């Protein structure tokens, strides 16, 4: 289309226009390859802080058998802890993090500019192509340079739709990335900060004011990502912080949030088999499938009498971690079950287990777990739970 609409061999402007498109395409491809090959920067397995006393401020990763450095998070897709993890991108088959954040942002920028230029070329070519007969019959033959065939007009229309879609989609993603870079936050840290603010709003006893430690001002924040040395600046483990904070300000907040999360954990007992499928329409019904959580988090398979520690609640789905049996903990291979142990499962397949308090003799009261729905009336108790407002808890 470009060679017909603005031939590069007939004017210097046409040549420069073609060269600009090739340059943008080359830069987008280069940064895409570098973002993929460089990777986000992975934490070494079995990593420990230099000072053993600092381990109390860090979270431990069972998968990597080591501690998570500040701003590091475990990616279940990469199966490794990632330095300054922002998100996992399926298009580069990697996480976006400390080492490749600049390459990924440049890739978005040049892809948008190239697609925007391609949109202009295709739209102008399409306009001239459909008005070719008008130009020829009104003495404007020099404008009738675009000649369509059936295949070329179909490809032109598809190309316009694809280019416009890329511009809109990547522009939104670029805006989000630039916003996080200017504030020196990742997508995960935005959620941590929101929970920190809400935690203090909800708990009147929490007097300490939360200060995000990594916002150094927009100029300094930009220099941390866009610099000549790229990943060579720093090690991705220690970070400059604002006055009044230290390296573990954010990790202490994460530990406090985890502690509150454990405090509101509820135990459920599986009453019917769960397949672990994303849309269990045959085993759970269409209502459960329609209300499935919009998340790429895994679904877990369960067997009757399995115990699950639940931390998130929805009308038709629960999120929790299956309690491993003694044989699984002992490492018996025949007793090991495939699939994840942590994820979503249909709410109708389990009932809550409450702590029944019995008056004992001697040393006082003793607590024994008992199913919340005894006498075989599990289904009615489940409906009663949903009516009592246990459904919508997202923290």
pLDDT (mean) for 382-386: 46
Q: Is residue 182 a part of any domain in this protein?
A: no
Predicted confidence at residue 21, as pLDDT, reads: 92
In-domain check, residue 277: yes
| Structural tokens at position 110 | 């040049």
Which pLDDT tens digit goes with each residue over 341-356?
899 999 999 999 986 5
Q: What is the rounded end-to-end Cα distance, in angstroms, of the chain?
A: 52
Q: In the predicted model, is pLDDT for residue 226 greater than 70?
A: yes
**Residue 233 scores a pLDDT above 70:** no
* Residue 224, number of CB atoms within 10 A of its CB: 19
In a domain, 81, yes or no: no
In a domain, residue 96? The reply is: no
The per-residue pLDDT for 139 is 80
Exposure string of 243-254, with b = 16+ CB inside 10 Å and e = fewer, is eeeebbbbbebb
Is the residue at 260 inside a domain?
no
**pLDDT value, residue 1:** 81
Placement of tokens 């489940």 in the chain:
382
Using 50, 70 and 90 to split pLDDT, how confident is the model at 120? Answer: very high
CATH number at residue 289: 2.30.30.40
Question: Taking each helix axis from N to C terminus, what angle separates 101-130 and 150-182, rounded to the nearest 10 degrees?
Answer: 150
317 occurs within a structural domain: yes
Average pLDDT, the chain: 85
Res. 16 pLDDT band, cuts 50 70 90: very high
pLDDT of 254-306, one tens digit each? Answer: 999 999 888 889 999 999 999 998 888 888 888 889 988 888 889 999 999 99
Tokens 């295709």 belong to which residue? Answer: 122
Which tokens is 114 given?
A: 């190239």
* φ, ψ for residue 246, nearest 5 deg: -135, -175
Beta bridge pairs of residue 95:
88
* Full residue range of the structural domain in which residue 301 is found: 265-352
Q: Please give the angle made by the CA atoms of 238, 246 and 255, to the nearest 5 degrees.
A: 90
What would the pLDDT profile of 145-198 be if each residue is shown by its tens digit?
888 888 988 998 999 999 999 999 999 999 999 999 999 999 999 999 999 988
SS3 content of the chain, % helix, strand, coil (to 5): 45, 15, 40
CA 13-17-20 angle, to 5 degrees, is: 135
Whole-angstrom CA distances from 279 to 136, 311, 317, 327 are 58, 22, 12, 30
Q: pTM for the full model? A: 0.78
Q: In this structure, how many other beta carbons lie within 10 angstroms of the beta carbon of residue 222? A: 15
Do the strands 342-346 and 60-61 form a parallel or antiparallel pair, or are they unpaired? unpaired
Residue 46 DSSP one-character state: T
Residue 299 domain-assigned (yes or no): yes
Q: Are 74 and 63 contacting, i.e. CB atoms less than 8 angstroms apart?
A: yes
Number of domains in the chain: 1
89 assigned to active site: yes
Task: Please check whether residue 248 lies inside any domain of the structure.
Answer: no
Catalytic residue among 81, 89, 95, 270: 89
């Amino acid at each position: 289309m470009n060679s017909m609409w603005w031939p590069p061999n007939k004017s210097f402007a046409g040549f420069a226009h073609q060269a600009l498109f090739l340059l943008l395409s080359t830069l987008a491809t280069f940064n895409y390859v570098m973002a993929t090959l460089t990777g986000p920067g992975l934490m070494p397995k079995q990593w420990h802080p230099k000072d053993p006393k600092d381990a109390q401020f860090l979270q431990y990763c069972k998968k990597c058998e080591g501690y998570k450095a500040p701003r590091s998070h475990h990616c279940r897709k990469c199966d490794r802890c990632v330095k300054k993890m922002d998100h996992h991108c399926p298009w580069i088959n990697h996480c976006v993090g400390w080492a490749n954040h600049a390459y990924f942002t440049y890739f978005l920028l040049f892809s948008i500019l190239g697609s925007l230029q391609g949109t202009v070329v295709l739209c102008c070519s399409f306009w001239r192509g459909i008005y070719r007969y008008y130009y020829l019959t009104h003495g404007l033959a020099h404008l009738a340079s675009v000649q369509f065939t059936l295949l070329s007009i179909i490809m032109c229309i598809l190309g316009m739709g694809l280019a416009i879609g890329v511009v809109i989609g990547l522009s939104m993603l670029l805006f989000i990335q630039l916003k996080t870079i200017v504030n020196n936050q990742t997508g995960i840290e935005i959620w941590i900060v929101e929970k920190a603010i809400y935690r203090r709003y909800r708990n009147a006893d929490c007097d300490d004011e939360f200060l995000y430690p990594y916002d150094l001002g927009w100029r300094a924040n930009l220099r941390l990502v866009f610099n000549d040395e790229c990943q060579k600046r720093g090690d991705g483990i220690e970070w400059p912080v604002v006055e009044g904070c230290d390296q573990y300000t954010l990790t202490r907040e994460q530990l406090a949030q985890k502690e509150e999360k454990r405090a509101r954990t509820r135990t459920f007992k599986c009453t019917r088999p769960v397949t672990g499928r994303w849309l269990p329409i045959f085993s759970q019904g269409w209502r459960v499938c329609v209300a499935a959580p919009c998340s790429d988090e895994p679904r877990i398979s369960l067997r009757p009498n399995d115990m699950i520690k639940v931390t998130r609640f929805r009308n038709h789905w629960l999120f929790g971690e299956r309690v491993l049996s003694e044989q699984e903990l002992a490492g018996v291979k025949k007793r090991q079950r495939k699939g994840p142990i942590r994820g979503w499962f249909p709410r109708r397949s389990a009932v809550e287990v409450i702590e029944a308090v019995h008056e004992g003799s001697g040393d006082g009261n003793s607590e024994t777990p008992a199913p919340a729905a005894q006498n075989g009336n599990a289904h009615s108790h489940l409906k009663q739970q949903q009516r009592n407002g246990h459904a919508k808890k997202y923290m």
